[in-house]
Structure 1
Amino acid sequence: MSSEYSAQHRPDVDPSADPSSNQGTPTRDRIAQQLHLHGLKPTHQRVRVAEILMAAPTHMTAEQILAQIRKGGERVSKATVYNTLKVLAQRGLVRQIHLDPERSVYDSTIVPHHHFHDLETGELKDIDPNDIAFSRFPTLPEGMEAEVVEVVIRLRRKRAADGA
């Protein structure tokens, strides 16, 4: 992944901010400000969920986020985590990736990009958008426009050749 691509992923970094300011891990105040700028009340639970996702480029399920919050001794309901993730995705602060009908992963990298999905481990890895090129695009249905194109390349270990 290119450093230019990875540097652009952060939804919490204001490009117009003072360049001498710390642009590393977002502060709780910066996250609360981002929530407010996206029309969300920065409740403690929302800030905490966003903080876990925005601390670094990551892909996490709602269950993983819930476990991390509870591991820190905080009390939060499963419904609160799911509802918070839903609204964060709707407002463009995180991306929801549907891996299958039963499982979604939330991605802190909000710029368009693609993924490798390891079917054995469940791990997602970002693919730099510059590493994929389309030579053709299908004709879209009349009156429709493409909002986004997301490619997920599902990986499995190579199988041994027969007789080996």
Structure 2
Amino acid sequence: MDNQDWNKQRVLETLRDAGVNPTSQRVEIGYALFSSCAHLSAEEIMQRVNADYPVVSKATVYNTLGLFADHSLVREVIVEPGKVFYDPNVSMHHHFYHVDTGQLQDIPASSLQISKLPDIPAETEVENVEVVIRLRQRVAH
């Protein structure tokens, strides 16, 4: 999703179109995420939503982000145990994860080629492949 022209009305309509009941809290959470067009953690979203005064609990933020992911409004990007980013860009792409800074950066899908996947179990099919490349600053010698 692009960050152009995101307002709360557009968030409300986007939620409705995706089959999500647009409660005021869900609209606030959606606005914080979609208008930034950034990779944010649940904690960062909660801080943005509650910047002026507390309106949304931590549980509501997590539940809403899970609901958004279930309805393909965001992608959950797990970079390490306990570290999840929510990405409003749901198009096919991959990520660099900068371990030193904790930042996530998009890699266009066309920039990465995977030539072979392992055999998959019978009765299954590949849904998608997501790659996270972990980067660290070089240590000068």
Query: How far is 1:74 from its partner?
Result: 4.2
Q: Could you tell me how far apart the structure 2 residues matched to 1:56 and 1:70 are?
A: 15
Q: Which amino acid aligns with 1:118?
A: H
The answer to whether the aligner puts 1:73 opposite 2:53 as a matched pair is yes
Question: Which of 121, 128, 137 is the aligned partner of 2:117?
Answer: 137
Contact 2:25 2:55 in 1 (8 A): no
Contact 1:116 1:152 in 2 (8 A): yes
After superposition, the C-alpha distances for 1:28-64 in whole angstroms (9 at most, x for unaligned) are 1221111112221101110111111111421000000
Q: Could you tell me how far apart the structure 2 residues matched to 1:91 and 1:78 are?
A: 20
Question: Which of 17, 23, 33 is the aligned partner of 1:37?
Answer: 17
After superposition, the C-alpha distances for 1:90-130 in whole angstroms (9 at most, x for unaligned) are 11001111122212110010001100000011100000111
The answer to whether the aligner puts 1:50 opposite 2:50 as a matched pair is no
2:8 maps to which residue? 28
> After the TM superposition, which residues 90-101 of structure 1 pair with which residues of structure 2 at under 5 Å, given as runs?
90-101=70-81
Q: Which amino acid aligns with 1:156?
A: R
Query: How far is 1:25 from its partner?
Result: 2.3
Q: Which amino acid aligns with 1:63?
A: E
TM-score computed with the length of structure 1 as normaliser: 0.80
1:105 maps to which residue? 85
Q: Could you tell me how far apart the structure 1 residues matched to 2:4 and 2:137 are?
A: 35
Counterpart secondary structure, 1:60: coil
Greater mean alpha carbon deviation, residues 63-72 or residues 146-155: 63-72
Deviating above 3 A after TM superposition, structure 1's stretches of 4 or more consecutive aligned residues are: none
- Rg larger in structure: 1
TM-score computed with the length of structure 2 as normaliser: 0.93
Contact 2:97 2:135 in 1 (8 A): yes
After superposition, the C-alpha distances for 1:68-94 in whole angstroms (9 at most, x for unaligned) are 111132421111111111100111001
Contact 1:61 1:104 in 2 (8 A): yes
Identity score, percent: 38
Compute the RMSD of aligned alpha carbons: 1.5
Counterpart secondary structure, 2:134: strand
